Structure 1
């Protein structure tokens, strides 16, 4: 069932505060939770969720279903993620093992620290459009690795729903029409408009028209037949290199051949006894979710009330601290030593929490010193930027207890704008996730993975039972979105969809100075007035991330799925 858009809250501050005091939860849009017994997929598009469930009904496990969902998302959300991009997957197997697959894009061999530093590079947008912006795609390698090591089906089997969608087409939603229209200039700059699947007679597909992608279906069939070599060494690889270099880049076949998926130990932390597993660098997401929740654990959030001025004040100040740390320390750990142990330390979080003065607003926000919590010497590194809104996250659970959270992206909408002729592959512009400052630890280098905030997360309850799988899109706001959803469930007892639909906040730090306090639509006007009186400069009616998740409801012995109505998300179960 399609959910209604998130409505505005109209209750006064006193009423909201009274409700929060009584129930710990403020009023919100009507929940559209979905419940199921055997398996569930929650993704940003109903057709992709159905593709994953189809595979589970046919006997596949959660990993098989996850790959089917990702393949289908590439078809129905080609602007957001897919075979020309990369991502992360956090998965917990039925025997309790948790791993993170890192298939983030890498910089080609031609990359250098100064490649985006010039005025010409900035003026001509080298890092966000055309071939120079394309990182070596890791998405397909990640999906195939997941299937071969944790799945039960072949690529050809799990690709069947996506191939069917690509060949038969799906109706364009008005939201998708708007995205295509917004990116029209980029799509036509690097491609023949007559051959772009998202255009018809040179114009964006209208809402309701079918989007058919036979070239992408052809790519999937070729991979099913020849395996990943078709993409990383064969005819598709040659086509990718030609497309990148024709549009200004410098990629080689060796760049593709050398790509490797990395299997990483997840970042681990706890929040009020709940066990959190999430992504390590080159994603900053998991580390700073743990740091943020560690700081907030020092405050009685449930007693303070949901989205009350006091809670938002503490949230905003804690967010500033973790964003300052992110800017100071985070980068690819294959190239830079990062104080991961210190950043995730409860002792460090307590020291950070002591910097917060309730009711006060910090304008200058220097990074903390996590090094001393792991015995290292203080070193402020200076990180960079990361992926934008064009990202897609999904969660999958099967009856056997396998759990998958996966977040994938091509960076900006339709990535670099370069589509590989004959194969329908939208190529990423992840090189923009590096810093243009040559002195930054997140400056481009050959083989380096750009900093990310993608945070597919698995949570267990204090007894070690599965509790939640969740992830989000939204660049650096992924971190704060996932943390707030966890708090909504743990501190305030919300269902999955209730937790996702609540208005969110975010407060960044830029060059050591606090940015505006961002509030989504739905915040009580009186609450906003109190926050403004505290000294916050407000940026209201913002759009802060989109999330999908599944909650384990042991009382009802069911899976409880939620998906964001800020997007086209729909959970599907059986």
Structure 2
């Protein structure tokens, strides 16, 4: 299956339509997904009570973790009805598009890492956004100079062809057991009836308030009388509910053809700017043919052995799997479990910088550039790169140059470091009673994406094309039909016995890579369980002079790292990452875990909880 490309299924779309009509006749007026965590409905308004939010859960039978309790509950409903991990992942992601619409939605793209237990096989789906075919390599240059980032972001030029819906359908065709309309039903009901606004939703809306006010579609979709909805209020998105209904009825064709596709193209080509707004909003280049031609693709996952574990990640056009894998291979040369924690963190920084140097030079869309994946992930290359780490331990001067793995030519180009911005994005992890696993990370890029909603359809369009370099002559340059490099790093690890050990991921821009790497080291080398590995203070270096770190990193640790020569000027303004995942305990036991406090905490649940 790896390496093949599947078209969207026209036959399945017709089948989904027929099933939806049958279900409408058979199912009563009480739709799935209307129940909250206590199984009750709001008697006055029909609004589901917010589900209880727990950061950890242990038990059997299946698990769901995400950034939001409504989303976790949606996935659990599917598992309760006999669905598998892929079914649950689709339902969870659809709900995140309702209750966390600024992080990831059908207006963006993502990457699925899937473990098929029956065949003992890990596969991956690339549902990354693509540049419209008319995109020139110098799209983000005007008169030879870069368009300022804020103007690139809030424009039609930044909006790639969304891939989430095609990814849903591709995963469902191969592995799903339930029709799409049933998987979207929990999210559709909550979009229609409303959800209780929490602090995180308010924070995200506030971050985008000035942008939303400048677009008629965004103002009408996400603001209430031009203002941010209040904590505790009920927020509805009937336009998104209608869009989900269309997709559930007609499959992905409802999104990539017809009225939704026409509305997307109109939004890209004619951004709905409020009269009198002073923002310079450039139109985009997307055509209907770009949507109709979009393909979600099977890709080969990356794989490295670390200690006695096997680590699977996402391959190009994501840089996550190769960069995490290379850094682990570099760290393989040290017995981290026998070192003081300050030494471990020092080596973590050094390995990250080396791997990011190679990421910057070689990673791009493999359909357009030759990415030396095998060379980047070879232990020999990691051993060569490790020689640049100074002993006795002292920080190297950064940025470091890229190496030359097998399969790559050294052209002498040295690229800048990766900015350690937190970005947007969302992650979820699901597993089922049969042992299948999905780690899915998806995004619309910035918090709020481009800030421009599709009028009448309830979702924001991404600004994913800003992930391209502005330089038209590097591996990650823009081009028509090309997918920008990503940092997304869904990860599945197997233990010494060959059985699943942990599956997890995180949002966070380039900090996704450093966060996933640090959690792996916490688990394998520092012998933490998943909740502790997630809760531990984080730091990261994208081959930069300065190392990014959280304010919770102990002062003594900061001072020790500075003594090595690392520069830690000021802590990150926001937490680094927002991890969730599932640890497999043996004897079918599951430990589901999400953030306990970062970004107001995440949500974890298991199908059959252990008694307290």
What TM-score do the two structures reach when normalised by structure 1? 0.90
1:65 to 66, 82, 88: 88
Contact 1:383–1:435 (CA under 8 A) maintained in structure 2: no
Matched, 1:552 2:581: no
Gaps of 5+ in 2: 1-36, 38-53, 272-282, 608-612
CA contact (8 A) 1:459 1:466 kept: yes
Q: Which among 524, 547, 563 is matched to residue 533 of structure 1? A: 563
* 1:160 is the counterpart of 2:185: yes
TM-aligned CA deviation for residue 356 of structure 1? 0.8
Q: How does 1:85-104 map to 2 (within 5 A)?
A: 85-95=108-118, 96-104=120-128
Preserved contact between residue 288 and residue 326 of structure 1 (Cα < 8 Å): yes
Alignment of 1:422-501 (within 5 A): 422-501=456-535
Q: Secondary structure at the match of 2:582?
A: strand
Asked whether the 8 Å contact 1:328–1:380 carries over to 2, the reply is: no
**1:440 deviation in Å?**
2.0
SS of the aligned residue for 1:546 comes to coil
How many angstroms apart in 1 are the aligned matches of 2:311 and 2:425?
Answer: 22
How far apart, CA to CA, are the structure 2 residues paired with 1:471 and 1:455? 6
**Deviation for aligned residue 1:202:** 1.0
Q: Structure 2 vs 1, CA of residues 61 and 380 (structure 1 numbering), >3 Å: closer, same or farther?
A: farther
Task: For 1:284-299, list aligned pairs within 5 A.
Answer: 284-299=319-334
Distance 1:480 1:431, change over 3 A: same
Q: 2:354 aligns with which of 307, 313, 321?
A: 321
- 5 Å-filtered alignment, 1:67-82, equals 67-82=90-105
Matched, 1:330 2:363: yes
- 1:119-518, aligned counterparts within 5 Å? 122-123=147-148, 125-192=150-217, 195-196=220-221, 198-247=222-271, 248-305=283-340, 308-358=341-391, 359-371=393-405, 373-374=406-407, 376-379=408-411, 389-509=423-543, 514-518=544-548
The residue that corresponds to 2:3 in the other structure is none
* Distance across 2 between alignment mates of 1:220 and 1:487: 40
Q: Which residue of 1 aligns with 2:134?
A: 110
Q: CA deviation at 1:338?
A: 1.5
CA–CA distance in 1 between the matches of 2:336 and 2:231?
A: 44
Counterpart Cα distance in 1 of 2:136 and 2:203: 36
Q: How many angstroms does 1:194 deviate by? A: 5.5
Question: CA–CA distance in 1 between the matches of 2:541 and 2:297?
Answer: 32
Aligned match for 2:553, one of 523, 539, 542? 523
Question: C-alpha deviations, 1:191-228, integer Å up to 9, x for none?
Answer: 246522x2111101111111200000000001111121
Deviations 1:471-523 (A, max 9, x none): 111111111111111111111222211111101110122xxxx3212221322
CA distance in structure 2 between the aligned counterparts of 1:368 and 1:434, rounded to whole angstroms:
19
* Secondary structure of the corresponding residue to residue 125 of structure 2: strand
CA shift for structure 1 position 276: 0.9
Q: Which residue of 1 aligns with 2:107?
A: 84
Aligned to 2:279: none
1:194/1:345 CA distance change after superposition, 3 Å: closer
Alignment partners' CA distance in 1, 2:569 and 2:334: 25
| TM superposition shift of 1:380 | 5.2
| CA deviations over 1:400-458 (Å, ceiling 9, x no partner) | 01000000000011111111111112100011011111222211111000000101111
Q: For each residue in 1:236-257, what CA deviation from the matched residue of structure 2 results, as whole angstroms up to 9, or x when unmatched?
A: 0011111111121121100000
Taking the aligned partners of 2:499 and 2:588, their CA distance within structure 1 comes to 12
CA distance in 1, matches of 2:495, 2:218: 51
> Which residue in 2 is equivalent to 1:50?
73
Q: Secondary structure at the match of 1:458?
A: strand
CA contact 2:398–2:545 (8 Å) conserved in 1: no
Deviates more, 1:564-573 or 1:88-97: 564-573
Is residue 393–residue 407 contact of structure 1 (8 Å, CA) maintained in 2?
yes
Q: CA deviation at 1:541?
A: 3.1
Contact in 2 for aligned 1:121/1:127 (Cα 8 Å): no
Q: Is the 8 A contact 2:452 2:461 kept in 1?
A: yes
The size of the alignment, in residue pairs, is: 535
Q: 4+ runs of 1 displaced by more than 4 Å?
A: 380-388
Secondary structure at the counterpart of residue 352 of structure 1: helix
Equivalent-residue separation in structure 2 for 1:99 and 1:462 (angstroms): 20
In the aligned structure 2, how far is the partner of 1:453 from the partner of 1:431? 13
SS of structure 2 residue aligned to 1:468: strand
Does the 8 A contact of 1:33 with 1:496 survive in 2? Answer: no
Pairwise CA distance, 1:76: 0.7
TM-score, normalization by structure 2: 0.84
Name the SS of the counterpart of 1:84 in structure 2: coil
Shift of 1:530: 1.8
Secondary structure of the equivalent of 2:591? strand
The 2-side partners of 1:367 and 1:537 are apart by 19
Give 3-state SS (helix, strand or coil) of 2:541's partner: strand
- Alpha-carbon contact 2:401-2:414 (below 8 Å) kept: no
When the two chains are superposed, the root-mean-square deviation of aligned CA atoms in Å is 1.9
Say if 1:352 and 1:368, in contact at 8 Å, map to a contact too: no
Tell me, which stretches of 5 or more residues in structure 1 are unaligned?
A: 3-30
**What is the distance in 1 between the residues matched to 2:528 and 2:63?**
19
Separation in structure 1 between the aligned mates of residue 358 and residue 218 of structure 2, nearest angstrom = 44
Structure 1 distance, partners of 2:386, 2:470, is 32
Partner Cα separation in structure 2 for residue 251 and residue 66 of structure 1: 29
Distance 1:396 1:439 in 2: 40
1:563 alignment partner in structure 2: 594
